[in-house]
Structure 1
């Protein structure tokens, strides 16, 4: 049974002023929090989970203060469950392939979902949501400590029922997922696309009690090929060079290249010619970007029309710098294709000069432009949370913050999916005492109206079926342009039936 979705379009004046009053109070303490973080060295043991009162980094101080304030209100109600949002809270440059901005956006999106649930139009839910923040550590090295901290919250006054987010598609994330699943904790992954991430470590079966809201690498690759099939700027029988990161610990890169090669081999619209051997590098070793920059001339040697980059966006930056000065730029145009991680390079200088004769496109996880140019691709009621003017809408809570990297939207949808499970369970069973196992069981039954696209079903591996995938281009200055909307089949759903 489908129930009404808590919305966020219009508020009474007292609701609006209450929200703004809370925000103003929070801003008043943020400066003190940041000063304390910067001035006094931290000698206490590391904190792996917090209600927002512990500041993981100065960059997160404001959003953590907002979360902490809301959590205090939630605990005062006496009727709540907790969701742990799991991430690399303080990423380190040249170690973690995510910039601090992405983590801040993650937390902003998770907080938005918390506020949407706790402050709906109309009747307030019987069970409120407390949002806890769990830190996996740089390189997700503290995944086990984070898992234990989360597990301790299940049979505690915090009454934790789920973990959301989970960081990125690497081996340590899979270990974290296994540990949480072994303790029957519901898991909703956010911006995680690696094909193996919803499967058990010791086999090919799906992880019990887990779903993801992001599209898989297989779906991303299929959508990219569907777009290339209709691209009139490339030859009818294009030569394709696959550039593959061989870092075995990175499921994102590892499964991306395989998925793309399989997609072009199975495609009937065009005769793609995949060169053999391709190009290989290993991001686990130092200097990957510089090596790729020095090796870019290989594109001319293979006479490639299309390059598919199966790696992280931070490594692509060096490769593009080399491609921009390739010797064959004047005689052969080049289309470089990548996957969602490229969005993290937004507003970054990727190459210099005007003679690159190169187009860079990628399949994304979400684009705010699809909300206006392909409106049915996502739920209008949920989109309003990111575009509206209400007290608890994104522009009010986080003025000037960007949505173009997609992380706030995916993190919102991950937390929102847990809340949808709570809604279904409590609606069908008024007065129910929710448990982590119940929420885990409910996840696969859901239809989720998300801001990143409609999820009308999860498949047998707990992945969203045929979810919308925006195709974007990125220029040398890191500016994004929306190109088209695609999906694994080429046509995403525009709504879910009842």
Structure 2
């Protein structure tokens, strides 16, 4: 589905759709030869407009306004239908935006959701996580384009949502960023003004962020938590990047505050260099825990890049029993946490209770049955979560009622998310953080029109980026469903962002016991 009107079309890699009956045989052969010359796609397996096949997974990457072959890879260049429903809804809303623009002479801009939309081993995300993030982004688009109401900073320009897939683990990010750059440089309706999503804190994510920043394209990360994304350690924070999620240091600081009664801890950490998140978190743990004279013992590393990672954990347990730490600070992801807890549950020092803390951020860890079985051996698990319905009930004063109503059943906003995606869970918080990230970008786009008085022309990406410096304190904060969002103009980090911490225990034969609380790195979360 392309742009309407006579404006310049953005860069698109040629593809062939599966509609050969309308072509003559000779024409079909010519097109097939042209596509073969590009070495990108084959005529029998088209991807959709703006997309092309690339990489070892032969996955469809690129930029589209909805359609495309995304999902869980079957390893043979094909993908399941997990994302089809939300993609169809996005395409329909985009078409409605363009129709309203034509019929009512309303301006519209594009915001791209940039994040891996194809999943394969050894990804640390799941297709369910991808789907829920897209669903939250779509519901935020619906809020932005609500008829008759001013939402996310106003009602104009209307917002078109583009899907930008950099492939599994963002490995194919470079040509996708090039396409986004072309769209940002276009003129007229549909020009790109911001990018949201950004996926997990991986090396490909970091490289894409730095390149987009160089082009002056503003970004709002939904779940990225690494402290720094600058390639040069001596360089300042990436300009034009806002984060909905607290950084690793902020989350680690919130957890370490809960350890004031401890004297000795150790870090179990992932040394995989591609896992920016884990290395960053381990460094934060080490720096913060040793304050106030507390002792941090020798850590135990593992490498998630190795196929037999789980086999390394049993060898750590004798050392843990010998050290007898008051707390174990785990710097890794849920995929590795589960075999670690399983090994710890079989420790020889069963008389010693174990306390494990993790900031996996977007997973309802306590609800995992495998994790619960491990806890029956006298393990207490404490973890942070960037957003979850539990937080709204535990401390409702720290959340915008209007934004929460888009998700909460029985609310006056009639829970738009549940209407659009009945039966879908929001417990992992991914839909919520994606909703907020898009909302921040949409708000900045509308403020660029209001404050720069450019109603007769569309705001540019750089004009939208300029609004990021004003999105703080009472006059500029955004009412997110994951918590009020006031951003430090120097770092782009959220001020004292609300963070859910859950303490989970389980006795054999008894239900799991879960105790939620809402805190921030500075104690109380931010309120305007």
TM normalised by structure 2 equals 0.79
Give the conservation status (yes or no) of the 8 Å contact 1:195–1:251: no
Structure 1: give runs of 5+ residues left out of the alignment: 1-39, 230-235
Match of 2:45 in 1: 42
The question of 1:228 aligning with 2:242 is answered no
Give the conservation status (yes or no) of the 8 Å contact 2:264–2:294: yes
Match of 1:363 in 2: 384
Matches for 1:17-416 after TM superposition, within 5 Å: 42=45, 45-46=52-53, 47-57=61-71, 58-78=81-101, 79-93=107-121, 95-119=122-146, 122=149, 125-156=155-186, 158-197=190-229, 199-201=230-232, 203-229=234-260, 236-266=261-291, 268=292, 272-275=294-297, 277-329=298-350, 331-341=351-361, 343=363, 345=365, 346-350=367-371, 352=373, 355-387=376-408, 388=411, 390=413, 393-416=416-439
CA RMSD of aligned residues (A): 2.4
What count of residue pairs does the alignment treat as equivalent?
443
| CA–CA distance in structure 2, aligned partners of residues 137 and 480 of structure 1 | 39
Match of 1:15 in 2: none
Show CA shifts across 1:99-146 (max 9, x none).
111111110111111000001553572310000111111121111122
Give the conservation status (yes or no) of the 8 Å contact 2:406–2:414: no
| CA–CA distance in structure 1, aligned partners of residues 371 and 311 of structure 2 | 13
| CA–CA distance in structure 2, aligned partners of residues 258 and 88 of structure 1 | 27
Show CA shifts across 1:317-340 (max 9, x none).
1101101111112x1111100003
Cα pair distance change 1:465/1:376, threshold 3 Å: same
Shift of 1:482: 4.5
Shift of 1:274: 1.3
Give the conservation status (yes or no) of the 8 Å contact 2:242–2:487: no
Show CA shifts across 1:56-79 (max 9, x none).
121111111110100000111222
| CA–CA distance in structure 2, aligned partners of residues 480 and 51 of structure 1 | 44
Match of 1:492 in 2: 525
The question of 1:469 aligning with 2:499 is answered yes
Cα pair distance change 1:128/1:392, threshold 3 Å: farther
Cα pair distance change 1:202/1:264, threshold 3 Å: closer
Structure 2: give runs of 5+ residues left out of the alignment: 1-42, 54-60, 72-80, 102-106, 472-476
Cα pair distance change 1:359/1:121, threshold 3 Å: farther
Cα pair distance change 1:353/1:162, threshold 3 Å: closer
| CA–CA distance in structure 1, aligned partners of residues 433 and 318 of structure 2 | 37
| CA–CA distance in structure 2, aligned partners of residues 424 and 155 of structure 1 | 20
Show CA shifts across 1:62-97 (max 9, x none).
11111010000011122210000011101113x110
| CA–CA distance in structure 1, aligned partners of residues 342 and 511 of structure 2 | 13
| CA–CA distance in structure 2, aligned partners of residues 478 and 203 of structure 1 | 50
Shift of 1:294: 4.4
Cα pair distance change 1:483/1:354, threshold 3 Å: closer
Give the conservation status (yes or no) of the 8 Å contact 2:202–2:274: yes
Q: Name the SS for the 1:400 alignment partner.
A: coil
Larger Rg: 2
TM normalised by structure 1 equals 0.84
Report which structure shows greater RCO (CA 8 Å, sep ≥6). Answer: 1
Give the conservation status (yes or no) of the 8 Å contact 2:243–2:493: yes
Q: Name the SS for the 1:96 alignment partner.
A: coil
